Every structure is written in C-alpha cells, then in structure tokens.
A and B are shown apart, each in its own frame.
Chain A
C-alpha cells in the first residue's frame, strides 16, 4: 500500500487501467473516440494547468496552439511523407517557439488583459488557418492518416493506447518537473508573487517558461488529435476549445495533475451520460442544461476542484468520527 502512495505509480496504474479496461469490455468504436478525445484534451489541459495552476496566468489562446500542432503534424506527415515521430516533435517545438515569442510580448499583461491578448492572437491564428489553404486546407479542412512508428501501423484502438501512453508519460514528467527547483519556483510564484520575487525568483522568466511549456503540451495534443480523428477544420481551434480547457482545469482542480484529467473527463462524459438517461435524455438540449447546472453546483460546493472530493469526504466522515470521540471525552470531563 505504501508503494501506491507514490504518484508516478498511481499515474501508471491509471494508464494501464485506461488502456486495458476498454479492451476487456470490447468497447465500441464510439467509446474509443470519446475516451481518446478525453485523453487528448487532457494533455492540453495538463499544460494549461502549469500555466494557470502554477504560474497563475490565464490564456484563451491555447486552442490555437493545439491547432498549430495539428496542422504542423498533418503537413509534415501527410504531405511531406516524414515519419510520425518527426511530426509529433515538430508539433511540440513550433508551438513552443511561437508561445515563447507571444509570451515575450504578452506576459507584461495580467489577468483578463492577458486573456484577451491571447484571445486576440487566437482569432488572428484562426483566420490564418482559414486563409492559408496551401498549408492548412482552409475551410475544407485537412486530412491525415493513423500514425506509423518504425513500420508499425496504428489502428483506432492502438492510437488510443498511444494517446494514453503519452498522457501518462507527460503526467509523470509534469510531476517530476514540479518537484524540481524550477517547479518549486513556479509554486512559490503562485502562492505569492512578491514573496517569490523577494526570494530571487525572476517572475518574467518563470512566467515565460510556464507559458511556452503549456503551448508545447497543446501542440503535442494537437498532433495526436489530427492523427486520431484524421480530419480537422479551422473552426475547431477557436475560443470554445480554449474555454473548455480553462473550465476543465478549474472544475478538476487548479494546480493538480490529476485534476486536469478529471476535469476534462467530467466535461466530456457528463453530457454523454445525461443523453443516455432514459426519459431525460430524449429532451433536446436538456443534457446541455444539466451539464451547466452541474458545473455551477460543483464549483459552488467544491471550489477547489473535483479532485479534492475524496479528501473532503475523508475529512468529513472519517476524521469527524475520530474527532467526535474526542469531543465526547471532553464532555465527560
């Protein structure tokens, strides 16, 4: 049991379960699609959480970075016949560089001013996606195939496994990163910018680092997206996706690694689950309404994120009982 308390092991275990369980249940194609989209968005949300959760910056432009990764990867692999790995790496590097440059300019801003600046950037990028049809396929969209690594051709199920593999790898990497001195500097910054600055943490340097890293995660997610769904169009990478990322990080738990995944799963699974309900699911739009209501209720009662529910329950029921005993003694005294 002691071993299970180690986070990297927990993440690996989660990954194994996520891969094996659908196989054992011989899940349908649509289930794989849903699960894979959760995995892919989770990767981007993981990066977004470094930015929001650890450095406290809001971006509404991360959807565009995901798109950048997707188009980059699709262009390199499908049009230029380069191996998938090259596409994936470039899909990580290019958004990283663009994010670095945007960060240099935009990180002077704070809060909603930064949010709008990144949103403006995203709108411009979206227009570019739509107009530069030679590179992106324009409004008619772009296509790519399932990936191929060292001669092994992936199919739907194995791409899903690949997604989960990358997700778990990044979760462990993020965990270790947060334990490093750089990660500690970011956490210090989140707690108090002034205190961190007084301790010699260069705010701009670390904000820029967090921003570029998060755009890299988004790029990787984009690359996996295009190679799983094999099609995308410019509209996909707009503000809706960025808001989804923001919402899932806040709902899941700001500044936690598991929270990003839980938040995305919550946002993606809940409407599907509600639609599957017997009578309620048949009413048009009701699943949407109920999802909205659930978001409001969960934030109201769990403002620190869904990931804290087990801890809260533990504290409320198990610890209370122990406490109750003590109180009892006090009464006797």
Chain B
C-alpha cells in the first residue's frame, strides 16, 4: 500500500505541472477561442530566461520572479501585437498562428542562450522527508503546494471577484459580455498574460527534473493538452482534474503494468473515455444553432 501511495505522490508532482499548463491552455481557449499550441514552447523559452539569469548570478527566487514578469510581458505582447488583430480569423487559423509562435520560440531560444542545455536547480534542496512511510522530497512537496495554492487563488478569483465574473462572462459569450459593458479586450489581455505566466511556472518546475533544453516541454505540453481534453474544455476545473488523473494513472500504470507501454496504455484509456464521453469528463453537450 505504501508503494501505491508513493506512486500517487510521484504522480501528483507531474500532475501539478500538467495542471498548471492545462489551466493556462483552457483559460486562453475559453476567453479568446484560441488553442495555444505555443504554451509549452513559450514555457521552454522562459525556463531558458530563468536559467540564464541564474547563470548571471541572480539569486534563484529573484530569477524566478523576474522570469514570471517577463512571461507576463510576453503574454501581453502576443495579445496586444498579434491576437488582438486576428479577431476575424477562424479558430483553425489562430491555432496555426500559435504554431508560428512555436517556431519563433524554438528559434529564439538557441539564438539567445546557445545550443547547450542549461542547468536549473531545485527550488528547495534537502533530504526526503518520510510521512506515513512515504518519502517525499521537499521540492516535490513545494511544487504540489505551490500548484494547489495558485489554483486555490485562481478559482477563488474566478468564482468570487468582479474580475473573475468578467472572465467567466467573456468565456461564456464575448459579444454579450461586451454589450454588458465588460472590457473584453482587457480581459483577454489579462488572460494571455496569466496563461503565459502559468506555462512559464510549469516550465520552471520541470527544469530541475530534466535540463533546460529546446525539447524540455514537449511531453508536458502534450500531456497538458490531453488533460484539457480529458477533463473537457467546458469548465475551468475540468482540465485540472484531468491533469491529476493523467499524472497519477501514468505512474500507476508504469509501476504496476509496464513502464514501456505506460504511455500507450494511457492513451488507449483516454481514447476509450472520449468515445464514451465525447466532450470530456466534465464536458457539456455542445448544441449548435442552425
């Protein structure tokens, strides 16, 4: 049983990263209708920024903070510079535009920071702590705590504040929201900044587990996307729940069934879920008006 919970905790660590990235994805998708394929690669770029700041002698905490500010600025630039002018373009076209952003990020990172992978330390060092026979690294605990805190704050803001209401209304229907006097343009600006920051945060958390390289976010981005689909794009919490299901299942399948086929089994499972629930676990049936 201890081993089982050990796997659950390990899964929660990756689930936190998937969850943060997936939340960024779904926030942007619901309010602006853009599926942001660049989420992962922008995160990768920001991880490079953080690692470069660190290499330049900036303390870790400050480097992370500055990186998140830069991520916000990048999100601002993307919305203000590109997406704002692409309102009339159909969703598919916007998706391809974000793929253009992927190429920009993938090209800029080696251009500015060199071709060699960089190193980024754990935010919290130290030996594993044992709780009820499960040993947890302090860093893992920190990642899970940060994620849960951020999500708690975000969901509080979404549900209880005026700004949250504005975001939810914009997500429901942009035109109606605008008629109700909600500054939808400012909402989408804020959401792009927030989404990019969440992606950057996920990348900074991944960085110590691998190295900071161009391909570091490929897996996380894919998994966050799948989490969003599994949970359904209809709600803000669905993708987060999806992320936790995927993170934990991945570990459990890998441990108990086969580590070689874990990903394949996971995808077959998701395929089955989607066939049974075509709009995800928390999806609503989409009704088209004729």
Q: Which residues of B contact A287 (CB under 8 A)?
A: 107
Chain A residues contacting B286 (CB-CB under 8 Å) are: 110
CA distance A80 to B92 in the complex (A): 43
- The number of chain B residues with a CB under 8 A from chain A is 48
Beta-carbon contact of A299 and B100 below 8 Å: yes
Per-residue CB contact flags for chain A residues 105-131 toward chain B (1 = under 8 Å, else 0) read 110111011001101110110011001
A302 to B2, CA, bound (A): 58
**Given A300-B89, A303-B90: A117 in contact with B100 (beta carbons within 8 A):** no
Binary CB contact string for chain B from 62 to 100 against chain A (1 if under 8 A, 0 otherwise) = 000000000000000000001001101110111011011
The answer to whether A116 touches B270 (Cβ under 8 A) is yes
Chain A residues with CB under 8 A of B35:
112
Q: Assess whether A124 is in contact with B97, with CB atoms less than 8 Å apart.
A: no
Cβ of A85 within 8 Å of any chain B Cβ, yes or no, is: no
**Contact check: which of A116, A193, A250, A294 meets B226 at CB < 8 Å?**
A116
In the docked arrangement, what's the CA distance between A277 and B19, Å?
42
Interface SS of B by simple majority: helix
Among the 9-residue stretches B50-58, B119-127, B161-169, B272-280, the one with 4 or more Cβ atoms under 8 Å from chain A is: B272-280
Contact with A288, one of B107, B233, B290 (Cβ below 8 angstroms): B107
Chain B residues positioned under 8 Å from A127 (CB to CB): 261, 263-264
Q: Which residues from chain A sit less than 8 Å from chain B, CB to CB?
A: 52, 58, 105-106, 108-110, 112-113, 116-117, 119-121, 123-124, 127-128, 131, 192-195, 239, 243, 246-247, 250-251, 254, 283-296, 299-300, 303
Q: Find out whether the CB atom of B275 lies under 8 angstroms from the CB atom of A105.
A: yes
B203 at the interface (CB under 8 A from A): no
B interface vs A, CB < 8 Å? 35, 37, 82, 85-86, 88-90, 92-94, 96-97, 99-111, 115, 222, 225-226, 229, 233, 260-261, 263-264, 267-268, 270-271, 274-275, 278-280, 286, 288, 290
B103 & A292 in contact (Cβ 8 Å cutoff): yes
Chain A residues, CB < 8 A from B104: 288-289, 292-293, 296
Asked if B263 and A117 sit within 8 Å, CB to CB, the answer is: no
CA A243 to CA B35, docked complex, whole Å: 13
Which of the residues A116, A131, A239, A247 comes within 8 Å of B274, measured between beta carbons? A116
* 4 more A-B residue pairs beyond the given contacts A117-B270, A283-B111, with a C-beta to C-beta distance below 8 A: A108-B275, A113-B229, A116-B229, A294-B100
> Would you give 23 A-B contacts (Cβ < 8 Å), ordered by A?
A58-B92, A113-B280, A117-B275, A120-B226, A120-B267, A121-B271, A123-B264, A194-B288, A243-B99, A285-B107, A289-B107, A289-B108, A290-B107, A291-B100, A291-B103, A292-B101, A293-B100, A295-B96, A295-B103, A299-B93, A299-B97, A299-B100, A300-B86
**A contact residues around B88 at 8 Å (CB):** 303
B279 engages A292 (CB within 8 Å): no
Within the assembled complex, what's the spacing in Å between the Cα atoms of A296 and B290? 32
CA distance A208 to B233 in the complex (A): 25
Counting chain B CB atoms within 10 Å of each CB, the highest count among A123, A131, A251 belongs to: A123
Q: Which residues of the other chain, A, contact B270 by a CB distance below 8 angstroms?
A: 116-117, 120
Question: Nearest A residue to B288 by beta-carbon distance?
Answer: A194
Please report the C-alpha to C-alpha distance between residue A223 and residue B216 in the assembled complex, in whole angstroms: 32
B267 touches A284 (CB 8 A): no
Which of B35, B222, B270, B271 is packed against the most chain A CB atoms within 10 Å? B271
Given A113-B274, A289-B111, A292-B103, also A299-B89 (CB < 8 A): yes
A-chain residues with CB within 8 Å of residue B105 when the two chains form the complex: 292
- A288 with B106, Cβ < 8 A, contacts A117-B274, A295-B100, A296-B97 known: yes
Residue pair A254, B107 in contact (C-beta under 8 Å): no
- List A contacts of B264 (CB < 8 A): 123-124, 127-128
Report how far A246 CA is from B37 CA in the complex, Å: 13
Residues of chain A with a CB closer than 8 A to B108's CB: 285, 289
Known: A251-B96, A284-B111. Contact between A109 and B85, CB under 8 A? Answer: no
Q: Do the beta carbons of B93 and A292 come within 8 Å of each other?
A: no
> Chain A nearest CB: distance from B96 CB in Å?
5
Other-chain residue from A105, A120, A250, A296 in contact with B92 (beta carbon distance below 8 A): A250
Q: Is there an interface contact between A303 and B89, defined as CB atoms closer than 8 Å?
A: yes
Q: Min CB distance, A252 to chain B, in Å?
A: 11
Whole-angstrom distance between the alpha carbons of A287 and B93 in the complex? 22
B111 touches A112 (CB 8 A): no
Determine which of B115, B271, B288 lies in contact with A106 in the assembled complex, contact meaning CB atoms within 8 Å: B271
